[in-house]
Structure 1
Amino acid sequence: MERRHFRLGFAGFGNVGRALARLLIARRDELARRYGLSFEVTLLASARRGAWVEPRGVDLEGALRSGWSSASRLAEVLRAAPIDLLFEATPLEPRTGEPALSHVRAALARGVSVVSANKGPIALAARELFGIARKAGAGFRFESAVADCLPVFNLAEAALPVGRLLRFRGVLNSTSNHVLQAIARGRSGEEAIGEMQRLGIAEADPSHDLDGWDQAVKVVILANVLMGRDLTPADVERTPVAAVDPGWLRAEEVAGRAVYLVAEVGPDGPARVHPVALPPGDFLASLRGFSLGLTIETELAATINVSIVEPHVEQTAYGMLADLVAIGQGRMMIPTPLLQATP
């Protein structure tokens, strides 16, 4: 077994970053035993605490327990920080992708691999970032950017090596659909949002979820990375939760149909995030609570349904850990039509 040691950096140390840190600590011995993979964390950065660089390795358990304080900022240290791989888990900014996009560009340009749970850079600049990664010999993976650790890109890589992907149709945001279900059953949307925030699933400001931006970004990633399109989040037709009629929701609930904000896209034509009343036999109608699911129509493998039942931040962290293992095994990038057209 070939052994590989990684110096790891964290861009963002909120719910997801902290869950990933705990997972790395808990699974350190298993990673070494099964994959010959060892690591030390040499960079921790958050907007509130600054950027802590320690070439000999930071005390990760201490950082989880007590935090840190540094006057340095991530943008200042990223070009020279002693890291081999950067975990990008800063908050989403769907219109510009910043500052995450700059973090990813800077890391890849110097040959540092990137594992991103942040959707913005991939939705806005996937073609460019794949090109930088290939030129620099860096890894670039992002399983957690679409649906926690739901196997989407890993599924396409392992099980769909031949033939075209014809359509994606999915429930890819927990918060918006939990709110729709709550309203349909006579509860308030505010109560449902508060529940998601207490569980650490919804952000303090859930507007990206409720306005459809989160799913718009995700469906653009699917279209661009797996179908080779060139969409941006602004191209997606979005219906916010606030625009959905509560009376219609309750009527559909009584009729036995579940209403979800569904993200849909094909190899051409519009991409949409819109409310759909799903009959009981529809796979997506079986999703409850804050579960996520995706229907993939393929040219050769018929229709594939995948789901993850009520994921939490630990599952997002697990998707990032799985990407670290993939890069450690030499699976540096997700196969994508974008690479076929990138010089």
Structure 2
Amino acid sequence: MTGTLTTASEPSGVDPGDAVDAPPGPGWAEEVRALARRRDAVLLAHNYQLPAIQDVADHVGDSLALSRIAAASSASTIVFCGVHFMAETAKILAPDKTVLIPDARAGCSLADSITAEQLRGWKAEHPGAVVVSYVNTTAAVKAETDVCCTSSNAVEVVASIPRDREVLFLPDQFLGAHVRRELGRENMHVWAGECHVHAGINGRQLTDQAAAHPDAELFVHPECGCATSALYLAGSGAVPADRVKILSTGGMVDAARATGAKEVLVATEVGMLHQLRRAAPEIDFRAVNDRASCGYMKMITPEALLRSVREGTDEVHVDPDLAGRGQAAVQRMIEIGNPGGGE
């Protein structure tokens, strides 16, 4: 399967608040691990996956960190429990390995918010501009990109570009607004894309939760629709500035281990709570919006994972030309500085 998935919203028939399939049997996790060993496979799970999937994986993390693990692994097969662009990125960084995704229908509304054709048109309107793409993009879009970025190093990547050069930043408008605000860069154009889950975590929800939990710290992902409100709360003194942290998913885990807070409000996809609670079980982590669940992520069920490891479904392929160009954009990001968390 190659190219851009066409669905740009919640997958049909999947309610983001619903629990999904029950495990196929009491011994399913042991069977998955045994089959993975037989297949010479490593199991990778994104932070937004179902808790059962996170618990069976060999490695859990953000998308770029997992892709780098995939590239460095001695395993010949990568089973990537995440969404399609993540498995593509793993294939780009590990082209000689077999990459499986347990359900190839698991798309991403943010990655689908811009196509390679749209990007080429945008570039034609701004000749000479430097294209900066968030790693949450398809392989075809990465191939049209000058340099990738993550949510934790987006400011650093854009700051490395001469200030007299125009910048096209895509696809997330909230992350782009955060970068433009941090750098005060007027010649930075931002694509109007969004993750439908993060966009749904709004400022009113954050403000209400902060008022109800006045001693809590705030962990806010920059893709969220409430990121600007978080900075306003800090700037106005409604919440002490040192309690407001704009963080990637990987940054949230690090911050959880370091904080002395007893309570933390978390603004990102709710699957993140599982890893945060494992990292710091003594802290009360609460979702700012407990309905912020990605139906695409939850398509990777224990049943789907077991089928994928047993039958080798679904394998991810990336055109070698696209992979080479996309890999160059990722490598330029790594050369600029520590890419930190993937998203």
Q: Please give the TM-score of this superposition, normalised by the length of structure 1.
A: 0.31
Asked which structure has the greater RCO (Cα within 8 Å, sep 6+), the reply is: 2
Greater strand share, 1 or 2? 1
